[in-house]
Amino acid sequence: MKIANVVSVQDRDDLAAPAPTGPASKRLGRMADLLRAFPAISDEERRQLLDFLTKGMPEEIAQVTHMQGMERSFAAFRKAHPSDFPQGWRSWLPMIVFGAIIVIAVAWRLSGITL
């Protein structure tokens, strides 16, 4: 006899991680409010938001930037701070350099050249 491995919608909600409470949820709410209000925020608030989006925990950043209706605000914030959010080939440059070093190292090892 086989037992179906079925989880109801209510059971899935019970398995989900609890929403953050306390200081973490207040900080996330504040950052979401700042991002939603961008560009009508002060320079100090802009700096706080920039620090959060560039140096914060990836999970928290994802929670804030993937909220309903945040796409336009986040895109506008990134466009206003291009040097802090690398785009295009500049974001791939470290991976290209790393790949080139690996290829050179493998070729050198296979060539048998010693110093």
Q: Is residue 10 part of a domain?
A: no
Q: How far apart are CA 90 and CA 73, in angstroms?
A: 23
What is the rounded average pLDDT of the residues 74-103?
A: 84
> How far lies 92's CA from each of 55, 62, 73, 98, 109, in Å?
19, 21, 24, 10, 26
Give the per-residue pLDDT at 16: 44
Computed over every residue of the chain, the mean pLDDT equals 79
Same domain as 62, residue 38: yes
Q: What's the domain count of the chain?
A: 2
Q: Is residue 36 part of a domain?
A: yes
Same domain as 80, residue 31: yes
- Count the Cβ atoms, other than its own, within 10 Å of residue 18: 5
Same domain as 54, residue 97: no
The pLDDT-based confidence of 14 (bands split at 50, 70, 90) is very low
The pLDDT-based confidence of 10 (bands split at 50, 70, 90) is very low
Same domain as 76, residue 24: yes
pTM comes to: 0.55
Same domain as 103, residue 91: yes
The pLDDT-based confidence of 112 (bands split at 50, 70, 90) is confident
Share of the chain above pLDDT 70, in %: 74
Give the per-residue pLDDT at 82: 82
Residue 63 in contact with residue 28, Cβ under 8 Å? yes
* pLDDT 10s digits, 50-66: 999 888 888 898 898 88
Same domain as 70, residue 31: yes
Same domain as 101, residue 80: no
Q: Which domain holds residue 105?
A: 87-115
Residue 20 in contact with residue 28, Cβ under 8 Å? yes
Same domain as 50, residue 35: yes
Same domain as 98, residue 71: no
Same domain as 52, residue 91: no
Of 20, 53, 17, residue with least CA distance to 35: 53
Q: Is residue 9 part of a domain?
A: no
